[in-house]
Chains A and B, each alone.
Chain A
Amino acid sequence: MKYNSPRKKYNNIYIKSLMLLFLFFIFGVMILNVIVPDKKFSAQENRNLKSKPKFSVDNLLYNKFTSKYETYIADQFILRNFWINVKSRSEIISGKKENNDVYLGKDKYLIAKFKKPDEESFDEKLKAVNDFSNENKKVTKYIMLVPNKIKVLEDKLPKYAPVENQLEYINKFYSGLDKSVKTINVYDTLNKNKNKYLYYKNDHHWTTQGAYYAYLEFCKSSGLTPKDANDYDIKKVSNKFYGTLYSKAGVTNVDSDIINVYSPKKHEDLLVNYVEEKKKSSSLYNSSSLNTKDKYSTFLDGNHPLIKISTMSDSSKKLLVIKDSYANCFIPFLTSHFNDIIVVDLRYYSDDIPTLIKDYNITDVLMLYNTNTFFEDESILNISDYE
């Protein structure tokens, strides 16, 4: 049979080449995995990579040795970042518009999803803030819930992406608050200026410019006279910022972000005291952060339980800021308006707030959060002595 033997011959080529490629792939990968030393840290994911778990009979039976070993292999797999990027690239090719709860928006904006709060949690937080307000009647209280990209830049979302309306939840929360708490609406001003660079593309934070617009709204609400943008030198401190959402979404086709610092033209002396770490600094910024992955922590050196900022301001007002990381690039705008600024992060600070208010003679309290963190995180409940 003449046609059989060329068929067999080509079938043979197929079989042999498949086997060769397969074995080459498997052994190549295995050998490389063994040779190349383990990595400790993944910059892209911003976490430590698992190291080899120790083998012992105990570990085998009770300490999930086998699943730890699997994680170890996956974490230390050769060219791990390459593989992760292959996956995200192929997903983008297939039309997928999100990864890991992050939408891949237009103009390469990465937009984190908003999870709507459940009723119970929502009401608990409302009660916590209202209780706080009742327990501290002598201070002037402000609250600023900053909407995230998912609301302000909703035009950049993938078409038809199903999203909850963050603004609705912000307004609902505001309307449930005690009348003595002044609610600050920053949505309108951010929305009006949304074509400007108000949020980082690859990070969940707002830019310093976004914070500046919010600062203007804060001044309106508190009766302070804001400094004009021309009173500042806008310094570009980094143009290679790849933030949290870059890590989370695992995509590589992004534009790097630019971090600007608004430095007042008229020099201000100040003292920044990181109380629990017993460290002092004369600057609101930590420039060494700019050499790490987490460049946003250049603002106030990231999150600390308690920071005391003493300024040269003539004002007799002392401000307490209860906040998340959004406040870090906002606070520098306030240094000329308050004599002391006490900054508290409820995720780390464990003592109670009324004592703090008394000890530092606080006159004004500002609660500043971005909406996603505010509704997802439970630490705001520590604001009052609530059982």
Chain B
Amino acid sequence: MSLIFYGWGEPIYISLMIFSIIFNYISTLFIHKYKKRKKLSKKIFIITLVTDLGMLAFFKYFGFIINNINTLFGLNIYFEKLALPLGISFYTFQIISYVVDVYLNKVKVQKNIIDFGAYVTMFPQLVAGPIVQYNDISLQLKNRKENINQFSEGIDRFILGLGKKVLIANNIGLVWTIIKTTEVANLSVISAWIGIIAFTLQIYFDFSGYSDMAIGLGKMFGFKFIENFNYPYISKSVTEFWRRWHISLGNWFREYLYIPLGGNRVCLIKQFRNLFVVWFITGLWHGASWNFIFWGLYFGFFIVCEKFFWGKRLSRLPKCISNLYTMIIVIVGWVFFDSNKLSDALNYIKVMFGVSGNAFIDNAAKYYFYSNFILFVIAILCATPIIYNFHKKIKSHFNARGAIAMAFVRIFILFLSTSYLINQSFSPFLYFKF
């Protein structure tokens, strides 16, 4: 069933996924079979890893690599742009985590190809995470009980995720789209901040919305996935931010990259190297382009500074100050994330901090502010645990009416989301152009 879901997006790449499943299934069986013969098993392991990463590199980074070769050597190699197979970054990492764990004997090899296939293609989180490590759910694949409680919790979670994506993310994204296309020369300082804050909220609700929907769907089928986001925007340090943002990715990199490199149990220089590598790759994973790599290293820099220089002092500051510090760094980071060229990002940041001579506030800024005010308030509230805590309070004073009311609230969110989804095909024929 998952394959149908995956194939829905782009039918041709289903064969790539099936190849991947079969290939990795067979290799891991071999790795397991020859685990007494260390050398052979290691060779197979390396070949498997290289193939898996190679496929990812080919589909995702081919263009990027060629572009850089062209720039470095002044060549002009032409290449055809390949469409990115859906979710390849996610499922490749899931497969790799499995292969490594089999090699290190952390998990039992999955002898049933259907079950293995199910792990790789599990559609709830195939497209946008969370990245599920095999050892987290190997038991659940066979022994899980779907029951009504879980099913209903899954529905609950799914609806919340849907609302986050369709009601909040999509709409606040419109503000960023408009501001992003304004010429930098005409952008006021306030508009620039409104714009990037809109993006900050958009990407959180987009990503965590998908994760919620995945977790919710998983629950409906009896799977318990780990949380992927834990209110990252209340973080009091950059280090904390990355423990609350895209948690499954952070875990994966820690488990399969940082710790194998030695983590922090090595000499200082090697620690710097490890952190550099991890943040370089984190950036690169997000996209095949230098601005993503820069974004990753940008965070790496702050994490290093917090670890070795001002972490302790930071934790002694009042919460609002340290949250403000974190948020400014994160928000500026998003400018790099969502700009095509480094120079565009820098120009935008210059406007934000008033060093480009633009007006502080203008009519456009006022318009964006008041016409989206309620949306911003709702979004910011939902980005904090306030609503969740309020919800918990209601639950503890539970009565029958409250319960039914909460259920209606959920269905209302579902109802509203449906209307927004249908509206996406709303395209009136602009006959006056003809």
- Report A-chain residues with C-beta under 8 Å of the C-beta of B421: 74
Kindly identify, within residues 97 to 122 of chain B, every residue whose CB is under 8 Å from any CB belonging to chain A: none
Kindly identify, within residues 310 to 368 of chain A, every residue whose CB is under 8 Å from any CB belonging to chain B: 325, 347
- Stretch of B281-289, B300-308, B311-319, B406-414 with 4 or more beta carbons under 8 angstroms from chain A: B406-414
Tell me, in angstroms, the Cα distance from A165 to B193 when the chains sit together. Answer: 25
Quick check: is B420 within 8 A (CB to CB) of the other chain? yes
Contact present for A7 and B398 (CB under 8 Å) = yes
- Report A-chain residues with C-beta under 8 Å of the C-beta of B375: 94-96
Contact present for B12 and A13 (CB under 8 Å) = no
Contact present for A45 and B429 (CB under 8 Å) = yes
Quick check: is B51 within 8 A (CB to CB) of the other chain? no
Tell me, in angstroms, the Cα distance from A71 to B403 when the chains sit together. Answer: 37
Contact present for A376 and B370 (CB under 8 Å) = no
Contact present for A77 and B403 (CB under 8 Å) = no
Tell me, in angstroms, the Cα distance from A256 to B67 when the chains sit together. Answer: 57
Quick check: is A161 within 8 A (CB to CB) of the other chain? yes
Contact present for B422 and A83 (CB under 8 Å) = yes
Distance from B279 Cβ to chain A, minimum over Cβ atoms (Å): 37
Q: Contacts A11-B398, A18-B407, A94-B375; is A46 near B431 (CB within 8 Å)?
A: yes
Contact present for A19 and B151 (CB under 8 Å) = yes
Question: Which of these, A10, A61, A91, A244, contacts B398 with CB under 8 Å?
Answer: A10
Tell me, in angstroms, the Cα distance from A267 to B429 when the chains sit together. Answer: 38
Q: Contacts A18-B155, A21-B407, A47-B428; is A96 near B372 (CB within 8 Å)?
A: yes
- Report A-chain residues with C-beta under 8 Å of the C-beta of B422: 74, 77, 80, 83-84, 87
Distance from A315 Cβ to chain B, minimum over Cβ atoms (Å): 32
Contact present for B402 and A10 (CB under 8 Å) = yes
Contact present for A66 and B425 (CB under 8 Å) = no
Distance from B184 Cβ to chain A, minimum over Cβ atoms (Å): 15
Quick check: is A289 within 8 A (CB to CB) of the other chain? no
Quick check: is B139 within 8 A (CB to CB) of the other chain? no
Which residue on chain A has the smallest CB distance to residue B159?
A22
Quick check: is B367 within 8 A (CB to CB) of the other chain? yes
Question: Which of these, A18, A29, A60, contacts B156 with CB under 8 Å?
Answer: A18
- Report A-chain residues with C-beta under 8 Å of the C-beta of B362: 162
Quick check: is B399 within 8 A (CB to CB) of the other chain? yes
Distance from A78 Cβ to chain B, minimum over Cβ atoms (Å): 10
Q: Mark B360-390, 1 if CB is under 8 A from A, else 0.
A: 0011101100111111000000000000000
Q: Contacts A97-B371, A376-B433; is A13 near B400 (CB within 8 Å)?
A: yes
Quick check: is B427 within 8 A (CB to CB) of the other chain? yes
Which residue on chain B has the smallest CB distance to residue A44?
B428
Q: Mark B139-166, 1 if CB is under 8 A from A, else 0.
A: 0000000001101110110010000000
Question: Which of these, A15, A46, A100, contacts B429 with CB under 8 Å?
Answer: A46
Contact present for A22 and B411 (CB under 8 Å) = yes
Q: Contacts A10-B402, A162-B364; is A294 near B431 (CB within 8 Å)?
A: yes
Which residue on chain A has the smallest CB distance to residue B422?
A83
- Report B-chain residues with C-beta under 8 Å of the C-beta of A7: 395-396, 398
Quick check: is A217 within 8 A (CB to CB) of the other chain? no
Tell me, in angstroms, the Cα distance from A96 to B172 when the chains sit together. Answer: 11
> Count of A residues near B, CB < 8 Å?
56
Contact present for B419 and A61 (CB under 8 Å) = no
Kindly identify, within residues 1 to 36 of chain A, every residue whose CB is under 8 Å from any CB belonging to chain B: 6-7, 10-11, 13-19, 21-22, 25, 29
Question: Which of these, B149, B159, B414, B420, contacts A15 with CB under 8 Å?
Answer: B149
> Count of B residues near A, CB < 8 Å?
57
Distance from A70 Cβ to chain B, minimum over Cβ atoms (Å): 8
Quick check: is A51 within 8 A (CB to CB) of the other chain? no
Question: Which of these, B148, B159, B372, B431, contacts A244 with CB under 8 Å?
Answer: B431
- Report A-chain residues with C-beta under 8 Å of the C-beta of B427: 45, 47
- Report A-chain residues with C-beta under 8 Å of the C-beta of B411: 18, 21-22, 25
- Report B-chain residues with C-beta under 8 Å of the C-beta of A376: 433
Tell me, in angstroms, the Cα distance from A204 to B428 when the chains sit together. Answer: 14
Q: Contacts A13-B403, A17-B407; is A244 near B367 (CB within 8 Å)?
A: no
Contact present for A74 and B425 (CB under 8 Å) = yes
Question: Which of these, A19, A60, A74, A100, contacts B11 with CB under 8 Å?
Answer: A60
Q: Contacts A21-B411, A45-B427; is A325 near B432 (CB within 8 Å)?
A: yes
Tell me, in angstroms, the Cα distance from A22 to B411 when the chains sit together. Answer: 7
Contact present for B410 and A18 (CB under 8 Å) = yes
Quick check: is A377 within 8 A (CB to CB) of the other chain? yes
Distance from A46 Cβ to chain B, minimum over Cβ atoms (Å): 5
- Report B-chain residues with C-beta under 8 Å of the C-beta of A10: 398-400, 402-403
Contact present for A95 and B372 (CB under 8 Å) = yes
- Report A-chain residues with C-beta under 8 Å of the C-beta of B73: none
Q: Contacts A18-B152, A21-B407, A95-B371; is A248 near B419 (CB within 8 Å)?
A: no
- Report A-chain residues with C-beta under 8 Å of the C-beta of B410: 18, 21-22
Distance from B116 Cβ to chain A, minimum over Cβ atoms (Å): 26
Kindly identify, within residues 215 to 251 of chain A, every residue whose CB is under 8 Å from any CB belonging to chain B: 244, 247-248, 250
Tell me, in angstroms, the Cα distance from A86 to B425 when the chains sit together. Answer: 15
- Report A-chain residues with C-beta under 8 Å of the C-beta of B155: 18-19, 22
Quick check: is A160 within 8 A (CB to CB) of the other chain? yes
- Report A-chain residues with C-beta under 8 Å of the C-beta of B396: 7
- Report B-chain residues with C-beta under 8 Å of the C-beta of A16: 148, 152
Tell me, in angstroms, the Cα distance from A250 to B424 when the chains sit together. Answer: 12
Quick check: is B79 within 8 A (CB to CB) of the other chain? no
Question: Which of these, A14, A17, A21, A87, contacts B423 with CB under 8 Å?
Answer: A87
Question: Which of these, B373, B416, B418, B434, contacts A95 with CB under 8 Å?
Answer: B373
Contact present for B364 and A83 (CB under 8 Å) = no
Distance from B302 Cβ to chain A, minimum over Cβ atoms (Å): 35
Quick check: is B77 within 8 A (CB to CB) of the other chain? no
Quick check: is B268 within 8 A (CB to CB) of the other chain? no
Contact present for A158 and B372 (CB under 8 Å) = no
Q: Mark A89-122, 1 if CB is under 8 A from B, else 0.
A: 0110011111010000000000000000000000
Q: Contacts A10-B399, A66-B9, A160-B367; is A17 near B428 (CB within 8 Å)?
A: no
Chain A CB within 10 Å — which of B367, B403, B425 has the most?
B425
Q: Contacts A11-B403, A14-B406, A160-B363; is A47 near B429 (CB within 8 Å)?
A: yes
Quick check: is B8 within 8 A (CB to CB) of the other chain? yes
Quick check: is B430 within 8 A (CB to CB) of the other chain? yes
Question: 7 tightest A-B contacts by CB?
Answer: A47-B429, A74-B425, A162-B364, A14-B403, A10-B398, A160-B367, A86-B419
Enumerate 6 A-B pairs (CB-CB under 8 Å) in ascending A order: A18-B156, A84-B419, A90-B416, A95-B373, A248-B430, A250-B426
With A7-B398, A10-B399, A96-B375 known, 5 other A-B pairs at CB within 8 A are A46-B431, A87-B419, A244-B431, A294-B431, A373-B432
